[in-house]
Amino acid sequence: MTPPIFSKPAAAQNPAEPHPSLTGFPGADESKPGVISGDGSSFIRLDDKGETFPTVEDLLKAVADEPLFGAVANAKYQPERNKKYLKVTVAILEMRKYLRGEEKGAMTAAKKIEEWLSDGELLGDTLVAHQARVNLIKALKKAPKEKGIDEGVKAMLAALTKNYAPKAAESKPAESSGEAKGKDAAAVLAELTDAKLFGEKHSAYDAKRNKEYLGVTLALMEVRKFVRGDASNPVAAQEKIAAWLNQYALLTDAVPHQARVNLVKALEGASGASEEWNNGVAAIVTTLRAKYSPAPPEKPAEPESPKEPPKAEEKPPPEKPKEEPSKDAPADKPKEAEKPKEEAKPKVLQTSYPFTKFTFAAKDKREDTDMTLVKSVLALLRPAVDPLQAKDPEFELKCEMQIKINNETGEVVEVLIQDIKVKGKTSVEDIEGAFQNMAERFHARYRFKRGKDDKGPTTVIGIPLDFKKK
């Protein structure tokens, strides 16, 4: 049964005396939630006193992690927020999204609250999860009125105060030693490292990860994003996987094939905290297992040399008598020495490198500042350079990234890498591969789509990039 929640003590007591269940804790502050376990159940006293929050912003501050859990419980919650307490985390995030106006209704938040409190283990967790539940109720009861959130607050309060009696766990036959248990997101991510996916072929993959194997690299990045919860659906991962396996060279290469086999093994048997996550993982596995039959690249036909008719035997012409050179004839000139053939010039790095032209989708309006954009770009592009510096410790790259933004719509119109300066022995092809990786990472991060030419005034943000050796 649901641990009872009450706002008044069962029996009147002297205000100067502590509650019987709090004996042994001198100086207990009853203005804060206190655990009461006199009859074996878990209770947290609710203080109904207090004025209504003046604004929704004040309410949002009250439902931050620290106020909800308190210092002690928060220290236990944070390390397990995406594991043991994932349902609690999702429910609280949905509530905050509604209060910030990112969701029109509170139905999703109420549903996630019910999923949390229908979990017997979380329902009986009085030290962490129950603490957050009670403080959420206290905060929502003080929600400001007539701010457009009244109905949603009622729905969330109803879900929080409802009496929950989860079904007793059905007895299951003991698992055989060979039967694998369900893996959560953390366990799956531990198996998605390059070293585990490629095994003994890891060094072969790492040498070409940003060139021949770039399609594999991008697919693995999208799969990890979904498993971590950074992507809400698996569509991007499925598209990248299909792009990888529809290339004949990558489909028939033993190195990517090793990763494909181990990726299926890692994802099978995964069991996350939500049905949406489980369905997404299953969709990715289906895409990996699908049959792909890309046509091999056609070899250019070699032109047949025309057959020559057999020649008739020719008699050698009679030898002419040698003529002695006349005394007046000039001597033969010495032959000129043959000029050495010019060697092919090595490929030269361009002075600038334009990214493909993209603009934001209509729903992806820019919400960052110039400063946050600069910080996010630096962190985003660094992994594209790390493999080059791992192979060539002397490699350094300095350049300037220019981002052109439409002032009226906030759309990113154009991205250009220029003033490129490099040190080290890294080849031009490897450097251009890193720039291509940067473009792909930039595109994937900001979810751009191809758009029409921009109109209206624009601003150009210049970001100096300096990737020095570590």
pLDDT computed for residue 404 by the predictor: 76
SS3 397: strand
pLDDT digits (tens, 9 = 90+) for 276-298: 888 899 999 999 999 888 888 77
Q: DSSP class of residue 447? A: T
H/E stretch holding 219 reads: helix 214-228
> Which of residues 56 and 365 earns the better pLDDT score?
56
Q: Which of 403, 414, 357 is nearest to 377 (CA)?
A: 403
Average pLDDT (122-151) is 88
> Which of residues 72 and 19 earns the better pLDDT score?
72
pLDDT digits (tens, 9 = 90+) for 180-229: 457 888 888 899 999 999 999 999 999 999 989 999 999 999 999 999 88
Average pLDDT (93-98) is 91
Q: What are the residue ranges of helices labelled H in 181-253?
A: 185-190, 194-198, 202-207, 214-228, 235-245, 248-251
Handedness of CA 443, 448, 450, 451 (dihedral sign): negative
Q: Which of 141, 130, 144, 154 is nearest to 68 (CA)?
A: 130
Residue 468's pLDDT band, with cuts at 50, 70 and 90, is confident
Q: HEC profile for 70-84?
A: HHHHHHHHHHHCCCC
pLDDT digits (tens, 9 = 90+) for 97-125: 999 988 888 899 999 999 999 998 998 88
pLDDT computed for residue 357 by the predictor: 38
pLDDT computed for residue 50 by the predictor: 60
pLDDT computed for residue 430 by the predictor: 86
Q: DSSP class of residue 337? A: P
Determine the Cα–Cα distance for residues 191 and 193; give it in Å rounded to an integer.
6
Residue 27's pLDDT band, with cuts at 50, 70 and 90, is very low
Determine the Cα–Cα distance for residues 452 and 388; give it in Å rounded to an integer.
35
Contact 209, 106 (CB under 8 A): no
Token representation of residue 180: 């694998």
* Single pTM value for the model: 0.33
Average pLDDT (421-446) is 82
Residue 241's pLDDT band, with cuts at 50, 70 and 90, is very high
pLDDT higher than 50, residue 364: no
- Greatest mean pLDDT among 31-35, 250-254, 421-425 lies in 250-254
pLDDT computed for residue 379 by the predictor: 79
CA quadruple 29, 31, 32, 33: dihedral, nearest 10: 110
Determine the Cα–Cα distance for residues 198 and 193; give it in Å rounded to an integer.
9
pLDDT computed for residue 317 by the predictor: 62
pLDDT digits (tens, 9 = 90+) for 326-351: 555 455 555 555 556 556 556 676 66
pLDDT computed for residue 467 by the predictor: 82
Determine the Cα–Cα distance for residues 13 and 166; give it in Å rounded to an integer.
34
Token representation of residue 184: 């959560």
Q: What percent of the chain has pLDDT over 90?
A: 29
Q: Which of 34, 40, 4 is nearest to 18 (CA)?
A: 34
Task: State the Cα angle at 284 between 280 and 285, rounded to 5°.
Answer: 115
pLDDT computed for residue 177 by the predictor: 40
Token representation of residue 142: 């003080």
Task: State the Cα angle at 55 between 58 and 100, rounded to 5°.
Answer: 75
pLDDT computed for residue 271 by the predictor: 83
Residue whose token pair is 């997404």: 280
10 Å Cβ neighbour count for 276? 13
pLDDT digits (tens, 9 = 90+) for 383-398: 888 888 888 888 888 8
